[in-house]
Amino acid sequence: MLNVLSIFVGLFAALLVIPGMIPFFGWVNWIMLPFGGAALLLGLLSSRNEGRNLAIVVLAIGIIRLWIGGGFF
């Protein structure tokens, strides 16, 4: 059950990352970080790996995008 919840929260975070890739919308990734972290926490508590792996990928993409844009752009 935690894995399914982690996947749903991770997919919501992924939907926030997509517009965050557009220039000048990088600030959306700051909104994504708590959701990605919650998905990762739920994935770590789960006995399966899919939700955790999704959350790691989404967080990595969002954090790299923030890093490249200087935290805002």
Residue 23 has what pLDDT?
A: 87
Q: How far apart are CA 4 and CA 19, in angstroms?
A: 24
Whether the per-residue pLDDT at 8 is higher than 80: the answer is yes
For 12-28, b where at least 16 C-beta lie within 10 A, e where not — what string? ebbebbeebeeeeebeb
Amino acid at 18: I
Q: Which domain holds residue 24?
A: 2-68
Residue 7 has phi, psi (to 5 degrees) of -65, -45
Whether the per-residue pLDDT at 26 is higher than 90: the answer is no
Domain-embedded: residue 73? no
Q: How far apart are CA 9 and CA 46, in angstroms?
A: 13
Residue 38 has what pLDDT?
A: 97
Residue 70 has what pLDDT?
A: 85
Does residue 63 sit in helix, strand or coil? helix
Cα 60 to the center of its chain, rounded Å: 7
The count of structural domains within the chain is 1
Domain-embedded: residue 57? yes
Residue 54 has what pLDDT?
A: 96
**Mean pLDDT score, 61-67:** 93
40-63 pLDDT, tens digit per residue, is: 999 999 999 999 999 999 999 999
More confident residue, 71 or 8: 8
